[in-house]
Structure 1
Amino acid sequence: MIRVAVLGAGRIGQIHAANVAAHPLARLIAVADPIAAAADRLSAQLNCEASTDAEATIARPDVDAVVIGTPSDTHAHLMLCAARAGKAVLCEKPVDNDLAKADAAVAELKALDAKVMMAFNRRFDPSNIALRQAIDAGDIGTVRQVIISSRDPGLPPRDYVAHSGGIFRDMAIHDFDMARFLLGEEPVEVYAKASRVVDPALMEEFDDHDTLMVIMQTASGKQCHINCCREASYGYDQRFEILGSKGMLMNDNLRPSTVRRFTAAETEAREPLLNFFLQRYTDAYRNELDAFLKALKSGSPLPTTPWDGRQALRLAEAAIESVRTGRAVAV
């Protein structure tokens, strides 16, 4: 059994802790959160120990691996603490909100030969796995364009925004990673526009935006368009379209049911979209943890790395610079 501690007892930490507790290869040893009530509540639910000290939890001799689900600006520090202690790590995105700190962390993790996996959960969604497999099988020939639509059902809490690093580093970073995953090449140029149309007052307070569009291109000419918005009145909207030389792949939204209703009052009426990422990516979070634990057990390479986290953050930084300057930015 791989003995695991989960750092963070918020919404992501709760998902990770429950998945660890249910996994046959793992034993959940402890959860840590600076808010004692949150740690106590989650530990009571999952029959493990609670702590308010993340570093002390990492240092425990009965912990082999840690899952980091804490605020973004703590990730690099906690990853390094764990790696220096010889612990394996599954860490939520991003590596850090600051690219220089991320680069320093990635370099040290490489020098330590640390076992660290970045939790880009969307790569592990069954539908997205099928997209990549279809591309690899040559079903649509050579990829030419990738279109990603990513829209949340509503603004995140104010305290979350304060530590998030902004929409490009927090929300769109998943899309930057999926762009790399689906294009199969690194973008070399980024052009972005961003605005405040959902809640100007909230976003101005944090010097952030709530709506964006990004266009990227690789050295070979492959293109990607990303559009994100913090609010979609109809639910959690996640769609992919990949155009190739021999055809196209599409990945549509998930719903509670596939039933469609036809009546005198409405045509093709369907169930609403799933409400949030915790519902949409339930299987992805399980698959992600499974891939992490099985790689540790077998000694095989981890499927996503700190370098993947760094590259997605670099694209986010380029997009932020593009918004600031109004020009395309070379990566």
Structure 2
Amino acid sequence: MGEKITIGIIGAGRIGRLHAENIVHIPKVRIKAISDIFIENVKEWAHQIGIESVTADYHDILNDPEIDAVLVCSPTSTHVAIIREAAGAGKYIFCEKPISFSVEETKEVLEVVKEAGVKLQVGFNRRFDPNFKKVHDTVREDTIGEVHIVKITSRDPEPPSAEYIKNSGGLFFDMAIHDYDMARYVTGSEVEEVYVQAANLVDPVIGELGDIDTAFTVLKFENGALGVIDNSRKAVYGYDQRLEVFGAKGSVTAQNEHPTNVEISTADGVLKDTLKHFFLDRYKDAYMNETHAFIDSVLYDKPLVCRGNDGLQAELIAKAAKESFETKKPVKINRETSRSF
């Protein structure tokens, strides 16, 4: 491919707009078109940032021979159909997580992508967070030795709306799936067994909708390491995102981020800023880095950091977590299934 990539974006909600605004000023990128079913809500914004075309039909993007790659930022329920059609049209694909709520559908569409010979990157943006990447790199460099324990804390500052919960796929597929991917990423090992305890402790409406808002997941990895992940939909003190990997020779930890690192010390105590409150603030750099990585992968044939198989593996863990919660038993992940791609 040449020195410039022409992109179409499917879905102009919060995440689609974020990606567009992050990449629109990159000299080697041209955003030719964006699609959304609520087209009237998009036109003015798209015009302001220089996107040439706005359409209500994403097929207009897929059928455009000038467009090299698409960013799929539409609801999860639409991902499989769009990926299948995009691959058939020969487009490179970036898809927000998860690929789908069905492991079987994900496996089927990954076969389509494989046969089409196009690249597919999955939007697990936290892999591109400088702090978490440093943890990953430290483990890979053998600085802390053989990994024994991974601990991840992921707590939202407030629960989402009831409407969001209805379409989210549940905490395991919507929220904890980021942490399942991170656990694989930092250990470099597949998960072989999952055990979950979970409850509805934050908002009774979430329980009424058939979901949970508080969860504790124990992971057993193929390399023998153990992992523990705690999730909550409500941390009153802010967006709580922490990661620790403990090994035979030491540990490496990524702590929470604050708007500033200023501390004020007086006779009354030591004060510092509360945590960053919103995921778009906390992972601003990560979102930029992941789209830059996708663009470079397409332009210069660089390896993808987060492939379709990574999306599948995280879904397998999420599915096992849901089953474990429902059965109150540990659930083993079929190793043949986990190595399908």
- The offset of 1:72, in angstroms, is 1.2
The answer as to whether partners of 2:200 and 2:206 remain within 8 angstroms in 1 is no
Q: 1:77 & 1:55 partners in 2: Cα distance? A: 11
Mapped to 2, the partners of 1:100 and 1:93 lie a distance apart of: 16
Structure 2 CA distance, aligned partners of 1:117 and 1:223?
A: 27
Q: Distance in 2 between matches of 1:24 and 1:275?
A: 32
Q: Distance in 2 between matches of 1:203 and 1:81?
A: 36
Separation of aligned partners in 2, 1:11 and 1:158: 17
Paired letter, 2:132: N
Tell me how far apart the structure 1 counterparts of residues 280 and 315 of structure 2 sit (CA, whole Å).
Answer: 22
1:100-133 Cα shifts (integer Å, max 9, x gaps):
1111111221122221111110000111111111
Letter in 2 for 1:248: S
Contact map agreement 1:192 1:322 (CA 8 A) in 2: yes
After the TM superposition, which segments of 4 or more aligned residues of structure 1 sit over 3 Å from their partners? none
Instruction: Give the equivalent residue in structure 2 for 1:144.
Output: 148
Between the aligned residues of both structures, percent identity stands at: 38
The residue number in structure 2 matching 1:209 is: 212
Q: Given the alignment of the two structures, is residue 45 of structure 1 paired with residue 62 of structure 2, yes or no? A: no
Question: Do 1:4 and 1:29's aligned partners in 2 also have CA atoms closer than 8 Å?
Answer: yes
Residue correspondences, number: 329
- Does 1:179 find its partner at 2:183? yes
Which residues of 2 match residues 155-174 of structure 1 at below 5 A? 155-174=159-178
CA–CA distance in structure 2, aligned partners of residues 162 and 286 of structure 1: 29
Deviation of residue 201 (structure 1)? 2.1
1:97 corresponds to 2:101 = yes
Residue aligned with 1:234, SS: coil
> RMSD between aligned alpha carbons?
1.2
Per-residue CA deviation, residues 192-250 of structure 1 (Å, 9 max, x unaligned), is 11111111223322x11111110000133201101111111111110001101000101
Q: Does 1:276 align with 2:278?
A: yes
> Quick one: distance in 2 between partners of 1:24 and 1:157?
38
**2:229 alignment partner, SS class:** strand
Residue 201 of structure 2 corresponds to which residue in structure 1?
Answer: 197
Correspondence for 1:17? 20
The whole-number CA distance in structure 2 between the counterparts of 1:311 and 1:101 is 13
Amino acid of the residue matched to residue 107 of structure 1? Answer: E
SS at match of 1:29: strand
For the residue of structure 2 that corresponds to 1:225, the secondary structure is strand
Q: Which amino acid in 2 is paired with 1:80?
A: R
Q: Secondary structure at the match of 1:4?
A: strand
| TM-score, length basis structure 2 | 0.94
Query: 1:70-108, CA deviations, whole angstroms, 9 ceiling, x for partnerless residues?
Result: 111111111111111000111110110111111111122
* Secondary structure, aligned partner of 2:84: helix
* CA separation of 1:246 and 1:330: change in aligned 2, threshold 3 A: same
1:55 equivalent among 59, 63, 71: 59
Q: Which runs of 5+ in 2 are unaligned?
A: 334-341
1:238 matched to 2:241? The reply is yes
Paired residues for 1:221-232 under 5 Å: 221-232=224-235
Distance 1:284 1:32 in 2: 24
Which of the residues 96, 117, 126 maps onto 1:122? 126
Determine whether 1:311 maps to 2:309.
no
